[in-house]
């Protein structure tokens, strides 16, 4: 086990903002979604080391054929809930038995719903840093691929895209060599003018199968690196 993680610097102030405190999400289907997650965890192969995908609807909506084509050999487990934020994700990570999945690598992509709800970039970043802390505490051997928030809106002038960019500038400091890799994959989803084409993101937030293919292509070499080849 490594010593105190370097991403402690990502959480410099007290008291913590609500975005960095575990709480059930105020979503209509939250209880049912949590129950289904518990069932899926209980039914998972207890002998397998899983690739844990943590996030919101962007994670929950991974195109299955693309996910399996690129990452099937790592036994992916989708741990994403539509509408979730950093605080809801923290609650799930602190209260569900995901360590029984023995994740070798966790992909973390969360925070764009915080942006939609009006969270300050610094607060969202601290929520993400607390997620990393929770991962380290509950599964110290799990390596992490931390993704920057994806671009949203049709072009670079979108107000919420600018907020996501500010979050990314802060969470990039959470990288820790050999343990936490950070990747801002957003530029790979945009055209040369910075536009997010509807063929990549049908609503300029969620991805199409083409978008997931582009995302998987960017992630594959880093996942292989973290998995040890």
What is the C-alpha radius of gyration for the chain, rounded to an integer number of angstroms?
Answer: 16
Give which of 11, 37, 39, 41 is closest to 24, Cα–Cα: 37
Q: What single string gives the DSSP state of each residue in 124-189? A: HHHHHHHHHHHHHHH-TT-EEEEEPPPP-SSSTT-HHHHHHHHHHHHHGGG-BTTTEEEE--GGGG
Can you give the length of the chain in residues? 229
Residue positions annotated with a catalytic role? 57, 203, 206
**CA 38, 103, 68, 183 torsion-angle sign:** positive
């Amino acid at each position: 086990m490594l010593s105190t993680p370097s991403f402690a610097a990502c959480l410099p102030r007290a008291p913590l903002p609500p975005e960095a405190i575990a709480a059930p999400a105020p979503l209509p289907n939250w209880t049912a979604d949590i129950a289904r997650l518990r069932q899926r965890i209980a039914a998972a192969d207890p002998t397998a080391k899983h690739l844990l995908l943590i996030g919101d609807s962007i994670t929950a909506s991974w195109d299955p054929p693309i996910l399996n084509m690129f990452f099937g050999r790592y036994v992916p487990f989708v741990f994403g809930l539509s509408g979730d934020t950093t605080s809801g994700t923290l609650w799930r990570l602190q209260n569900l038995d995901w360590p029984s999945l023995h994740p070798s690598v966790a992909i973390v992509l969360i925070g764009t719903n915080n942006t939609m709800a009006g969270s300050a970039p610094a607060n969202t970043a601290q929520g993400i840093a607390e997620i990393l802390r929770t991962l380290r505490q509950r599964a110290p051997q799990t390596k992490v691929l931390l993704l920057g928030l994806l671009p949203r809106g049709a072009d670079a002038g979108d107000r919420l895209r600018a907020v996501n960019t500010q979050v990314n500038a802060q969470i990039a400091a959470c990288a820790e060599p050999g343990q936490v890799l950070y990747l801002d994959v957003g530029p790979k989803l945009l055209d040369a003018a910075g536009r997010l084409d509807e063929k990549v993101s049908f609503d300029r937030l969620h991805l199409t199968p083409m978008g997931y293919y582009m995302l998987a292509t960017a992630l594959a070499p880093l996942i292989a690196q973290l998995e040890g080849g």
